[in-house]
Structure 1
Amino acid sequence: MTPAILIVDDDPAIRGVVRVALEKAGLGVVEAKDGRGALDAMGRGPVDLVVLDVGMPDMDGFACCRAIRAISDVPVLFLTAQDDEIDRVLGFELGADDYVTKPFSPRELVLRIKAILGRGRATQDRVRSHGDLVIDLDRHASTLGDQMLELTATEFAVLTILLTRPGSVIDRNMMINEAYGGNSSLSGRTLDSHIRNIRAKASALGYVDVIETVRGVGLRLGRCTIGPGAR
């Protein structure tokens, strides 16, 4: 099935450039001119990824991303006119999977989108587990105990990398390279945002030890056991 990409931008020229690039790459396209239109479009049918402009009137991209995250874990790629790390970090903390700064190369945008979609699709027919954590690579699903752990595509990739080598400490630069495909524009602060998101989601389910930080070395998977009195 052809992936459906929702383009959300108040500039019709930008939407047109992105639409042409995506259609040439064999991807399906849905368009919305603002955040509310984006939410309406998601209600009308399945969407595989959202390309979301930050600087829209009324409901900006960050507010729209918050609303999307309340109903879906669909991958989100931000478009922004500002190359500001603070804005990028905020976007990742809201659950974005990547960021592209305007003016952008349509070819690069397509490659970024395909990379996110690739991370979101499991290619190995295996179920992995550690403690109460279970990751099903076929279904792209993760659970803690009997509870669903809702993750974005990038968060899922980060946790899967850690689960591949339980007990081992993974260097942060190696983690960035594996999780983001060597995307040099992504920083350690970006990785930190995704780690915070995973920890917060796991903590809400009663698990406070899912990811451990080894100072000066890197990250490793924790015990993944529920805290006392959490249920």
Structure 2
Amino acid sequence: MKILVVDDDPHILELVNIHLTQAGYIVRKAANGSEALKLLEDEIPDLAVVDVMMPGMDGYTLTKTLRAEADIPVLLLTAKGELEDKEKGFLAGSDDYLVKPFEPKELLFRINAILRRYDKAVDILIKVGPLTINRQSYEVSAGKKVILLPLKEFELLSVLASRPNQVFTREILLERVWGYDYEGDEQTLNVHIKRLRDKLKKLAENVIISTVRGVGYKLEVMKN
């Protein structure tokens, strides 16, 4: 997933870039609103992290433009925490609000929560190869074969299928499916991946979940 980060403070810009890149995101950086809108001409990111206090175009104005032109979710960063500023941010169309200084981990939690809400709102049907995943009925089908998956297995498959061939880190999968406050270990994820693999073999042999050693997993459609 691509995330646009806009901040006139180069230190904050690089800090956010490092942590998002380590989490598996592709980051596009901009030092102000004009740079951000120029980047938007080449590609539409999945989410934008925008600083409020910037010279020229402020974060509120940029947020309104991003929502109007690209309709992407926006997380606002600001040094202010007053209720009036929060209200102004939400009225501009932001999805969440994070006050500086912040813990990088909290930034990741909030981004994952926004993307999780956004994905569920946008995609009811996900199609990957012969697979169709229906987020409304929780059915997974291939041709005439239809199965119902337990909720966590279904959510895990939905996340992987939302970006075929993209590697999702273990941390991202745990946060997206089990939530940022999950206190269990990675063995739970391993068990669910194994169960999904067994079920996919019976449903669509050419759709597989590959392990990327030391990183995480990705969903692939193999050529027959």
TM (norm. structure 1) is 0.52
> Which blocks of at least 5 consecutive residues in structure 2 are unaligned?
126-133, 137-178, 182-224
- Structure 1 residue runs of 4+, over 2 Å off? 122-127
Q: Please give the alpha-carbon distance, in whole angstroms, between the structure 2 residues aligned to 1:99 and 1:29.
A: 19
Instruction: Give the direction of change, closer, same or farther, for the CA distance of 1:53–1:123 in structure 2 (3 Å limit).
Output: closer
Letter in 1 for 2:17: R
- Listed as ranges, the matches of 1:137-216 within 5 Å are none
Which secondary structure does the structure 1 equivalent of 2:53 belong to?
coil
User: Aligned residue for 1:43?
Assistant: 41
User: Aligned residue for 1:74?
Assistant: 72
Greater strand share, structure number: 2
CA shift for structure 1 position 124:
10
Instruction: Give the direction of change, closer, same or farther, for the CA distance of 1:104–1:123 in structure 2 (3 Å limit).
Output: same
Match of 1:63 among 42, 61, 64: 61
**Is 2:44–2:70's contact at 8 Å kept on the other side of the alignment?**
no
User: Aligned residue for 2:2?
Assistant: 4
Q: Please give the alpha-carbon distance, in whole angstroms, between the structure 2 residues aligned to 1:52 and 1:116.
A: 14
**Is 2:6–2:31's contact at 8 Å kept on the other side of the alignment?**
yes
**Is 1:66–1:94's contact at 8 Å kept on the other side of the alignment?**
yes
**Is 2:6–2:36's contact at 8 Å kept on the other side of the alignment?**
yes
Q: Please give the alpha-carbon distance, in whole angstroms, between the structure 2 residues aligned to 1:29 and 1:121.
A: 19
Q: Please give the alpha-carbon distance, in whole angstroms, between the structure 2 residues aligned to 1:71 and 1:5.
A: 16
Q: Please give the alpha-carbon distance, in whole angstroms, between the structure 1 residues aligned to 2:29 and 2:180.
A: 30
Provide, for residues 162-197 of structure 1, a one-character-per-residue CA deviation record: whole Å limited to 9, x for no partner. xxxxxxxxxxxxxxxxxxx899xxxxxxxxxxxxxx
Instruction: Give the direction of change, closer, same or farther, for the CA distance of 1:10–1:124 in structure 2 (3 Å limit).
Output: closer
How many residue pairs align between the two structures? Answer: 131
Provide, for residues 77-134 of structure 1, a one-character-per-residue CA deviation record: whole Å limited to 9, x for no partner. 000000111111111111100000000001100110011111111299858xxxxxxx
Q: Please give the alpha-carbon distance, in whole angstroms, between the structure 1 residues aligned to 2:25 and 2:105.
A: 13
Return the index of the structure with the highest Cα Rg: 2
Instruction: Give the direction of change, closer, same or farther, for the CA distance of 1:105–1:43 in structure 2 (3 Å limit).
Output: same
Match of 2:89 among 83, 91, 94: 91
> Which blocks of at least 5 consecutive residues in structure 1 are unaligned?
128-135, 139-180, 184-231
Q: Please give the alpha-carbon distance, in whole angstroms, between the structure 1 residues aligned to 2:30 and 2:180.
A: 31
Aligned residues: percent identity?
44
CA shift for structure 1 position 63:
1.2
Letter in 2 for 1:68: L
Q: Please give the alpha-carbon distance, in whole angstroms, between the structure 1 residues aligned to 2:94 and 2:107.
A: 15
Letter in 2 for 1:54: V
Q: Please give the alpha-carbon distance, in whole angstroms, between the structure 2 residues aligned to 1:56 and 1:123.
A: 31
Instruction: Give the direction of change, closer, same or farther, for the CA distance of 1:22–1:85 in structure 2 (3 Å limit).
Output: same
Letter in 2 for 1:86: E
